[in-house]
């Protein structure tokens, strides 16, 4: 689980910007909060991030994606680290970007952080968190790695790993590359638990007979599609020759390489058609995924997903996330940018309700999403500490504020009205006048009052 994160000097985040999934003391919807006994805290199962266009919501998702990729994929020797610092002042472009995570994995809690420039890792540290104490494991300043835990100081191989870590590489990554498993659970949190899904991205392979060996997951997907009024009776797939796959040759090569590691992969063509690759007899086999529709005589016809509506394709993209996160054994942390894109508000709400109804104190999955759908801004659905707003200040820097920080938001208050009036920030600052001015004129944005306490 993700307990908290901090982002500094990344895209629109100039200053250290905290984000928390730790529940406040309020008891609304308390039955679905995850209890982390090791720290004595409760964790939120969901968080919604609101804000105007260009407020920084997507930048937050991209910060998590960048950190995950740097941990999991690392860098090539002498290759630059692809950071994107804040650019609207003179000092930020030369300062390091910094990322800090507090996570729960394998029954342990860690704080892991690093600061990087394009050329090198400037700082890196790892600490195990406990209810009343902390156990510092290592700290890195430049190329100097100091092991702060006695067991690490006494391990000759740990010193070998530290000495062999390149200046543009994380120590955590090198431990895993050297087959040292002491920090493998934390690495796997980034590689297996943290999932970032952008607009139009496929989250998991789907398709009849191509997702799970026994077809169980395919049945869940097909059933959900029918319940959500997509007009699709089920997902289907048909084998196609590699030469008939409408993808550039370099994309095909990368997809085959990816599928070779996981035994399956999914790729979406520029036109919106989905393909999945399954290895059979040590050879990659291509399948075209589509939606099965029923004819008037009861027979079925397979439609290309490229021929389905944008909303239907978005449902298919998101359903694997919600079905996986709703499983009792799931520990996925799914970060979804623009959850409501192309979706009817009732459909989006139903996805969230189904997931939240499955959450219990023992649950360990989480869904974090950005949205513009104010119909979800409902305390019957979400707690105040589960709703955040991204606000861009006068200097162009993004700040993240939970609604629980606002002093005038009561449990019985209609948050939507205050938000749309601009009293909570995170709405467009629209300048009236010119060709887009309404006939009556005027500025609909309310005064900014009732701000964070």
Let me know whether 124 and 229 are in one domain. no
pTM of the model: 0.88
CA–CA distance from 258 to each of 69, 70, 261 (Å)? 15, 18, 6
For residues 351 and 318, the answer to whether their CB atoms sit within 8 Å is: yes
- Same domain as 451, residue 414: yes
324 found inside a domain: no
Query: Both 345 and 266 in a single domain?
Result: no
Whether 329 is in a domain gets the answer: no
List, for residues 76-102, the tens digit of each pLDDT value.
999 999 999 999 999 999 999 999 999
**pLDDT confidence tier of residue 421, bands split at 50, 70 and 90:** confident
The DSSP secondary structure of 200-262, one letter per residue, reads: T---S--STTTSSTTSHHHHHHHHHHHHTT-S-SEEEEEEE-GGG--S-HHHHHHHHHHHHHH
pLDDT on residue 196 = 94
Please check whether residues 297 and 192 belong to one and the same domain: no
pLDDT of residue 203: 61
Residue-wise pLDDT for 238-263, tens only, equals 899 999 998 888 888 888 887 776 56
Angle of helix 310-326 versus helix 216-227 axis, rounded to 10: 130
What is the C-alpha to C-alpha distance for residues 391 and 279, in angstroms, rounded to an integer? 47
Considering the chain, what percentage of its residues have pLDDT values greater than 90?
Answer: 62
- DSSP 3-state percent helix, strand, coil across the chain (nearest 5): 30, 30, 45
State the CB neighbour count (10 A cutoff) for residue 381.
Answer: 17
* Mean per-residue pLDDT, 35-53: 95
Query: Same domain, yes or no, for 434 and 358?
Result: yes
Residues 104, 185 share a domain: yes
Lowest mean pLDDT among 59-63, 296-300, 304-308, 414-418: 414-418
Of the pLDDT bands very low, low, confident and very high (cuts 50, 70, 90), residue 179 is very high
Tell the residue number behind the tokens 């290309």, with chain if given. Answer: 304
| Residue 254 shares a structural domain with residue 390 | no
User: Is residue 289 domain-shared with residue 387, that is, in the same domain?
Assistant: no
User: What is the pLDDT averaged over residues 368-393?
Assistant: 95
Q: What is the CATH number of the domain that holds 59?
A: 3.40.50.300
386: exposed, middle or buried (C-beta count within 10 Å: 0-12, 13-18, 19+)? buried
What is residue 430's predicted lDDT score, i.e. its pLDDT? 54
CA distance 23 to 44: 6
Residue 327 lies in a domain: no
439 or 394, higher pLDDT: 394
Q: What pLDDT sits at residue 146?
A: 97
Tell whether 204 is covered by a domain: no
Tens digits of residue pLDDT in 291-302:
889 899 989 899
pLDDT in tens, 103-152: 999 989 999 999 999 999 999 999 999 999 999 999 999 999 999 999 99
pLDDT confidence band for 443 (50 / 70 / 90): very low
pLDDT in tens, 208-227: 344 444 444 567 777 788 78
28 and 85 part of one domain: yes
Range of the domain at 280: 216-318
- Residue 109's DSSP bridge partners are 104, 129
**Can you give the pLDDT at residue 271?**
79
What's the domain count of the chain? Answer: 2
Are residues 345 and 312 located together in one domain of the fold? no
- The confidence score (pLDDT) of residue 167 equals 97
Please say if the pLDDT value at position 231 is more than 90.
Answer: no
């Amino acid at each position: 689980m993700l307990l908290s994160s901090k982002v500094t000097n990344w895209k629109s985040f100039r200053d250290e910007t905290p984000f928390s999934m730790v529940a406040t003391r309020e008891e609304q919807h308390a039955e679905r909060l995850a209890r982390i006994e090791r720290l004595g805290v409760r964790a939120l199962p969901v968080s919604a991030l609101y804000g105007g266009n260009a407020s920084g919501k997507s930048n937050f998702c991209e910060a998590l994606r960048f950190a995950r990729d740097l941990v999991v994929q690392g860098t090539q020797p002498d290759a630059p680290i692809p950071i994107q610092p804040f650019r609207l002042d003179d000092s930020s472009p030369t300062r390091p970007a910094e990322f800090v995570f507090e996570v729960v994995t394998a029954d342990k809690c860690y704080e892991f952080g690093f600061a990087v420039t394009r050329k090198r890792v400037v700082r890196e540290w790892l600490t195990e968190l406990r209810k009343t104490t902390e156990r510092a494991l290592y700290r890195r300043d430049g190329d100097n790695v100091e092991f702060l835990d006695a067991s690490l100081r006494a391990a000759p191989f740990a010193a070998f790993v530290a000495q062999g870590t390149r200046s543009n590489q994380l120590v955590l990554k090198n431990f895993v590359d050297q087959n040292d498993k002491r920090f493998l659970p934390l690495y796997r949190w980034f590689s297996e638990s943290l999932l970032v899904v952008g607009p139009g991205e496929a989250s998991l392979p789907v398709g009849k007979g191509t997702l799970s060996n026994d077809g169980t997951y395919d049945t869940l997907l097909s059933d959900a599609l029918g319940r959500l009024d997509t007009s699709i009776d089920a997902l289907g797939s048909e084998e196609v020759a590699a030469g008939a796959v409408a993808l550039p040759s370099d994309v095909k090569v990368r997809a085959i390489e990816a599928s070779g590691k996981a035994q399956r992969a999914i790729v979406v063509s520029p036109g919106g058609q989905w393909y999945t690759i399954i290895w059979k007899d040590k050879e990659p086999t291509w399948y075209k995924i589509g939606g099965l529709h029923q004819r008037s005589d009861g027979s079925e016809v397979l439609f290309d997903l490229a021929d389905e509506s944008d909303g239907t394709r978005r449902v298919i993209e998101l359903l694997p996330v919600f079905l996986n996160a709703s499983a009792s054994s799931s520990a996925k942390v799914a970060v979804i940018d623009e959850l409501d894109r192309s979706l009817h508000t009732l459909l989006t709400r139903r996805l969230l309700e189904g997931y939240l109804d499955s959450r219990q104190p023992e649950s360990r999955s989480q869904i974090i999403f950005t949205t513009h759908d104010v119909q979800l801004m409902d305390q019957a659905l979400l707690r105040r500490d589960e709703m955040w707003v991204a606000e861009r200040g006068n200097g162009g820097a993004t700040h993240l504020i939970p609604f629980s920080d606002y002093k005038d938001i009561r449990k019985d208050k209609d948050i939507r009205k205050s938000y749309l009036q601009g009293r909570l920030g995170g709405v467009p600052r629209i300048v009236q006048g010119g060709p887009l001015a309404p006939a009556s004129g005027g500025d609909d944005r309310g005064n900014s009052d009732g701000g964070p306490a």
